[in-house]
A and B are shown apart, each in its own frame.
Chain A
């Protein structure tokens, strides 16, 4: 086997593994969410399919695949078909820049445990997270439904108010690690994770990514009580499933990013690096689920108020303080 074909094979295996793990994890995150929410409400949650209900995601998948794929009358057919993919693909793509383990040595060559070791990984993430909202907006617009349209518009307006504070909360990270590369950012946290230096930025980032993956208390684009199901009101079958799975992939990816930026990435004692990364990611995901079981949905103007008048100024002040501190050091 030539060196080139070995490289290709290794890369393909890594890609396939990441893809498989992410999708499986997303499916089981749905299950975990239903379980945890049930526990919060003193219920048992799904436990009928398989042992402890563990085959529930499979049953859901079969149900979604065999359901009728309805397109509402007057809908923009092509955009309607495209939108779920546009919502799910950027979420998966973001994971390509996240280092999920220490570089390993296989067949005499160093294999970095990251799909693409991009030198502007952080900017790539910011760009893709902005693109992800197109799926929401286009899906809402193409559905020819008032609820979906309002959900899509809310998604867009929400993006503008949280994206800013999310970007600004990551500036101190770049200042501390002197790099946009996520592998370098992880390497800079070898001794102390950035959450110790940047607790404020971590909170701002956590709130922003909650809005980013449209979770309670910032799930205004969906808002069951007001907009039926928001932007995916008119979707059924696997197209709805794609939106749904996209949301959970987003949770995993953003949890992974929170782990990478603030919680020290794959660094940790005793356990193998990949396990540490998974633990941190799942801890953030658990926090999201816990938050969903606890907090009510914010009103729309409250989200705007929080984004523009609280988080963005706080993030700016945080940058100033970090700069001052770095200059003094």
Chain B
């Protein structure tokens, strides 16, 4: 009988909704209850420092190039000893989509994502973060990593003296 199974189906629907009525709501009431994000949650972006306290960023523009919404801009500069740094560094969080591609692209672990998701403001211009807003005093993830101790190009050591660095190739010889 078609009609019997139809009526059974309708009553089954009523039973399901009644069961859900008696269930505890899943709502998290945000301003009062805040969920704790996972450590790798991707929210506000920071610029970290190396273990010695220097800026990790070498202004290579890779984050800016990787950014799908072009919200990162900077100006590269060089210190007297050849160490590169960003003269200014700007992230426009009103455009940022928190995809994390910049942090993935960063060769020096300078740019990192933090779980701090509460960065909304009344004025949209407040979402444009300058370098001094972005820089933090810690190393973030990968605390012991120091790019220059590995690469050391002309800054702390001579060329080819880094930890995992091979001697420079003499491009004028044909030997491998």
Tell whether A pairs with B: yes
* Residues of A close to B21: CB separation below 8 A: 36, 39-40, 290, 293
* Residues of B close to A40: CB separation below 8 A: 17, 20-21
Asked if A275 lies at the interface with its beta carbon under 8 angstroms from chain B, I say no
Asked if A70 lies at the interface with its beta carbon under 8 angstroms from chain B, I say no
The number of chain B residues touching the other chain, given as a range, is 10 to 19
Asked if A301 lies at the interface with its beta carbon under 8 angstroms from chain B, I say no
B17, B22, B29: most-surrounded residue (chain A CB, <10 A):
B17
Are A41's CB and B20's CB within 8 A? yes
Are B17's CB and A42's CB within 8 A? no
Chain A interface, number of residues (Cβ within 8 angstroms) = 13
Are B13's CB and A294's CB within 8 A? yes
**Distance A206 CA – B75 CA, assembled complex (angstroms):** 73
Are B13's CB and A295's CB within 8 A? yes
Asked if A13 lies at the interface with its beta carbon under 8 angstroms from chain B, I say no
Are A42's CB and B26's CB within 8 A? yes
Q: Contact string, A31-44, partner B, CB cutoff 8 A, digits 1/0?
A: 00000101111111
* Residues of A close to B27: CB separation below 8 A: 42-44
Are B29's CB and A42's CB within 8 A? no
* Residues of A close to B13: CB separation below 8 A: 294-295
* Residues of A close to B18: CB separation below 8 A: 290
In the complex, what residue of chain B is closest to A287 when comparing beta carbons? B14
In the complex, what residue of chain B is closest to A217 when comparing beta carbons? B10
Q: Contact string, B1-29, partner A, CB cutoff 8 A, digits 1/0?
A: 00000000010011011101111011101
Given A39-B25, A43-B25: A295 touches B20 (CB 8 Å cut-off): no
Q: How far is the CB of A127 from chain B (nearest CB, A)?
A: 32
> Contact check: which of A36, A44, A290 meets B25 at CB < 8 Å?
A44
**Distance A293 CA – B123 CA, assembled complex (angstroms):** 40
**Distance A157 CA – B26 CA, assembled complex (angstroms):** 41
**Distance A294 CA – B27 CA, assembled complex (angstroms):** 20
* Residues of B close to A42: CB separation below 8 A: 20, 23, 25-27
Q: In chain B between 17 and 74, which residues have their CB closer than 8 angstroms to a CB of chain A?
A: 17-18, 20-23, 25-27, 29
* Residues of A close to B20: CB separation below 8 A: 39-42
In the complex, what residue of chain A is closest to B20 when comparing beta carbons? A40
**Distance A300 CA – B23 CA, assembled complex (angstroms):** 34
* Residues of B close to A44: CB separation below 8 A: 25, 27, 29
Are A295's CB and B25's CB within 8 A? no
Q: How far is the CB of B99 from chain A (nearest CB, A)?
A: 30
Q: How far is the CB of B51 from chain A (nearest CB, A)?
A: 47
**Distance A36 CA – B10 CA, assembled complex (angstroms):** 19
**Distance A295 CA – B9 CA, assembled complex (angstroms):** 11
Q: In chain B between 108 and 140, which residues have their CB closer than 8 angstroms to a CB of chain A?
A: none
In the complex, what residue of chain A is closest to B23 when comparing beta carbons? A42
* Residues of A close to B10: CB separation below 8 A: 295
**Distance A291 CA – B21 CA, assembled complex (angstroms):** 12
**Distance A41 CA – B22 CA, assembled complex (angstroms):** 11
* Residues of A close to B16: CB separation below 8 A: 294
Are B17's CB and A293's CB within 8 A? yes
Q: How far is the CB of A157 from chain B (nearest CB, A)?
A: 24
**Distance A70 CA – B14 CA, assembled complex (angstroms):** 39
**Distance A294 CA – B18 CA, assembled complex (angstroms):** 9
Are A294's CB and B25's CB within 8 A? no
In the complex, what residue of chain A is closest to B22 when comparing beta carbons? A39
* Residues of A close to B22: CB separation below 8 A: 39
Q: How far is the CB of A300 from chain B (nearest CB, A)?
A: 19
* Residues of B close to A294: CB separation below 8 A: 13-14, 16-17
The 9 closest A-B pairs by CB, nearest first: A39-B21, A294-B17, A44-B27, A44-B25, A294-B13, A40-B17, A42-B26, A293-B17, A294-B14
Please name 5 pairs of A and B residues whose Cβ atoms are closer than 8 Å in the assembled complex, sorted by A.
A36-B21, A42-B26, A43-B27, A44-B29, A294-B14
Instruction: Point out residues on A near B: beta carbons under 8 Å.
Output: 36, 38-44, 290-291, 293-295
